[in-house]
Amino acid sequence: MQKTALEHDLHKLVEKALALGASGAKTVDVASIRTGAWTRWKCQFGCPNYGKTLCCPPFVPDYAATQRFLQEFIRGIIIQYTFPLNGVAVENFAAADLSMSNGLLEILLNLEREAFLQNHYKAFALKAGRCRLCKECNLKQCVNPTKARPSLEACGIDVMALANDNGYQAEILQAAVPELKIYGLLLVE
């Protein structure tokens, strides 16, 4: 059986993700992505970053808009990014977190561009967690509009389910760990 052009392109994007430093990359049927209004509530009532970046609530599209947006895609790629914590002192965790967040974003943006160049012109990347491009977000107008992407959870996507439904083992951390894993999503076609 011969691969379709889309399957071929997705396979190349998965390979590229791994070459760029992703610890995992898999194709995903967008219809299988679980969403919920509860994710934004967790942002608003529980996250200290609520209202502090344009990539988080209340500035990002709401749950209903995300539902409509996802319906415009059939295939995508989930990206897992692993960041080693061995040797990272507690006082240096903020810098490590910044490096981890922006490392994932760099991979996602490269993949988004590659998908665009493959003629998947509506390709769009989202990542877990808040935007970390600027030390403090200019809430009047983004100063990195070509790089900033909304948070998966802020848009209503259940990141834990996305990871677990696609063969990764995302779990709530309750003790010190040697590494952290975060996730991103490239919507392709």
DSSP string, 65-99: HHHHHHTT-SEEEEEEEEEE-TT--GGGHHHHHHH
Mean pLDDT score, 20-44? 96
Long-range contacts of the stretch 129-137 (C-beta < 8 A, 24+):
129/101, 129/153, 129/182, 130/49, 130/52, 130/53, 130/55, 130/56, 130/101, 131/53, 131/54, 131/55, 131/56, 132/97, 132/98, 132/101, 132/102, 132/105, 133/102, 133/105, 137/52, 137/53, 137/54, 137/55
Position 2 scores a pLDDT of 59
Mean pLDDT score, 59-72? 95
Q: How confident is the model at residue 89 (pLDDT cuts 50, 70, 90)?
A: confident
Q: How confident is the model at residue 176 (pLDDT cuts 50, 70, 90)?
A: confident
Residue 34 half-sphere exposure toward CB, CA atoms < 13 A = 11
Percent of the chain whose pLDDT exceeds 70: 99
Q: When comparing pLDDT for 174 and 119, which is higher?
A: 119
- What does the alpha-carbon distance between residue 114 and residue 22 come to, in Å, rounded to a whole number? 15
Structure tokens at 84: 């080693």
Mean per-residue pLDDT of the chain: 95
Position 103 scores a pLDDT of 97
Task: Measure Cα distances from 121 to 44, 102, 143 in Å.
Answer: 33, 23, 23
Q: How confident is the model at residue 25 (pLDDT cuts 50, 70, 90)?
A: very high
Q: How confident is the model at residue 87 (pLDDT cuts 50, 70, 90)?
A: confident
Position 93 scores a pLDDT of 86
- Residue 152 near residue 185, CB atoms below 8 Å: yes
Mean pLDDT score, 72-79? 98
Position 179 scores a pLDDT of 93
